Amino acid sequence: MSKILLGVSGGIAAYKALELVRLATAAGHSVRVVQTPTSRRFVGAASFEALTGAPVLVSEFERDPSRGAFPDRSRETLASGENPRFGQPLPAHEPLSHLELAAGADVYAIAPATANTIAKLANGLADNLLSSCALAARCPLVIGPAMNDRMYEHPATKANLKTLRARGAHIVEPDVGRLASYGEHGIGRLADPARILRACEAALGGAPAPVEAASDATQEGEKGPWSGLRVLVTAGGTREPIDSVRFVGNSSSGRMGLALAMAARGRGAEVTVIAANVALPAPAGVAWREVRTAAELREACTLEFPAADVLLMAAAVADFRPATPAAGKIKKDGREGLSVELEPTVDVISELATHRRADQTLIGFAAEHGERALEQGRAKLAGKGLDAVVVNDVSRPDIGFEVDDNEVTIVTAAGERHVPRAAKARVAEAILDAVERLRAEERERPPRTAGLGASR
C-alpha cells in the first residue's frame, strides 16, 4: 500500500479527481487530498472526504484533525493506543500541514493541474497549501495538466512544463477531445484517471494499475465524428539485432504516433497501436501491441491491416538489417574493427498498399534530411501507392525525433499543406483533418477496384 497525496486545482476537470481517488483506494492505496480554494467551486471537500476517509485541507492555517497522517486501508486489528481510523499513533504536537503531508507521502499527484498552478510549480511559488506541499515534497511529483488547448500550447505553459520535466516531474500528457468551452475540441482534456494512477505507480516503481480498475473509464470511449472507424497506428522505431545485445536502430520515441492515436481516439475511433520499442505509457482506451524488429512490425501490420479503415504509418521502420546477426555477444578480443553486412528489409507500407481495399486510407510518414525532403516525399507518394505522405525535415534539432514539437508538410495528389511548428498533438489534429478530407473526396468518386494501390 502506498500513500498518495493528491492536489486538486481549480478547473472543471476537478470532478475527474474523484474517479482517480476511487481507483487509487480500490487498488489499496491510501489517499489524502489538498485543494485550492478555486477547486472547491467545482468539487466540494465532502466528496473527497467520503472517498478517502480523511480530512481535506485547503489552507495552511486550517487545523488538520489527522495531524498529517494518512488513512490505514488495511483494516487490520490495531495495537493499543493507535488511532482507529489511521492505524498509527498521531503526532503529539500539531505539525505544519504542508510539511507533514509532504513528508508522509510516497508520491504527490496534482490533477488537474491548471496553467496557473503549473506556472507556480515551475517558478517555485508557495502561495497556497497545494504549491507549498510541492516545494516541501521529496517524493516523486506527477502532474496531470488540464486546460483549454490555447492555454496548453502557449509558449509560457510549454516552457513551464519543460522546466518541471527537467526537474524530474512526471508529466501525464492531456488527452485530445471535447473541451469545457462549448463547441471546442483539441488537446487539454485531463488524462484518463486510470492513466494518471498508472503514472503514479510507475513513479513509485510498483506494478501497473489493475486492468479492471482502468477499464471502467477507458473502454466505453465517447461518441465523435470518427465513431465506427477503425484506425491502425504504428509508432516508435524498429531495432535490428547485430548480436544479442547490440542493434541497428533510430531515434524515434513514438511521440508522434501516440499523438495520432490519442487524437483519433478523441474523435471516437477504435484505435490499435503497434508500438516499436516505445518507452512512453500507452494512451488510454487503445489496443496496444508491442514489437521490436521490422519483421515483427510487418507481421503485426499484416494481421491488423485488413480490419482497419485508416492506416497511419508513423513508425520509423529500418530500411536495412544485419544479414547474419550473431547468436551471442560479439567480443572485442583485440579486434581492430567490425564489419556488419546489411540487407534490405521489406517495405511494409508498400506491401500493404498492394492488398488494400478501395475504402482504406493509407498515410505514410517520411523523415527526410535537408533541402530535398519534399521532393523525396512526393516520390514516396507516387511510388508506394499512398493517399498522403507526411514529410518532416529531421535535420532540424528543434522538431521531429525525441522532442515535443513537429513541423510537417502533408503531401497529397491534390497538392501540399504546410503545418507550422506546433505541439505534436496539434500536428496530429491537422493530419487527421487531412484524412477526413481525403475520405470525403473518396466517397464522391466512382467505386474503384481494391488492391491497385500503386496506380493511385
Instruction: Report the b/e string of 19-44 with b at 16+ CB within 10 A.
Output: bbbbbbbbbebbbbbbbbebbbebbe
What residues have CB less than 8 Å from 80, skipping those under 6 apart? none
What residues have CB less than 8 Å from 271, skipping those under 6 apart? 231, 232, 233, 261, 264, 265, 283, 285, 286, 287
The confidence band for 74, taking pLDDT boundaries of 50, 70 and 90, is: very low
Give mean pLDDT, residues 356-383: 87
The confidence band for 456, taking pLDDT boundaries of 50, 70 and 90, is: very low
DSSP 345: P
Give mean pLDDT, residues 31-35: 96
pLDDT of residue 218: 34
pLDDT tens digits for 173-193? Answer: 888 777 877 777 778 889 989
- Residue 389 cell numbers, joined: 505522405
The Cα–Cα gap between 433 and 148 comes to 20
pLDDT of residue 349: 95
Residue ranges per domain, the chain?
3-218, 230-455
Give mean pLDDT, residues 51-62: 89
Give mean pLDDT, residues 201-222: 45
What CATH class is the domain 230-455? alpha beta
Burial class of residue 75, CB neighbours in 10 A (0-12, 13-18, 19+): exposed
The confidence band for 92, taking pLDDT boundaries of 50, 70 and 90, is: low
pLDDT tens digits for 220-238? Answer: 344 578 989 999 999 999 9
The confidence band for 47, taking pLDDT boundaries of 50, 70 and 90, is: very high
The reply to whether 230-455 shares the fold of 3-218 is yes
The answer to whether the CB of 20 falls within 8 A of the CB of 156 is no
Total count of residues recorded for the chain: 456
Please state which of the ranges 96-110, 235-249, 288-302 shows the lowest mean pLDDT.
96-110
Please state which of the ranges 66-80, 373-387, 435-449 shows the lowest mean pLDDT.
66-80
Fold for the domain defined by 3-218: Rossmann fold (3.40.50)
pLDDT of residue 401: 62
For residue 391, give Cα distances in angstroms to 63, 335, 416. Answer: 58, 41, 10
The Cα–Cα gap between 193 and 22 comes to 9
The answer to whether the CB of 251 falls within 8 A of the CB of 402 is yes
pLDDT for 138 beyond 60? yes
Whether 250 is catalytic: yes
Share of the chain above pLDDT 70, in %: 84
Residues 128, 160, 250, 406: which is the catalytic one? 250
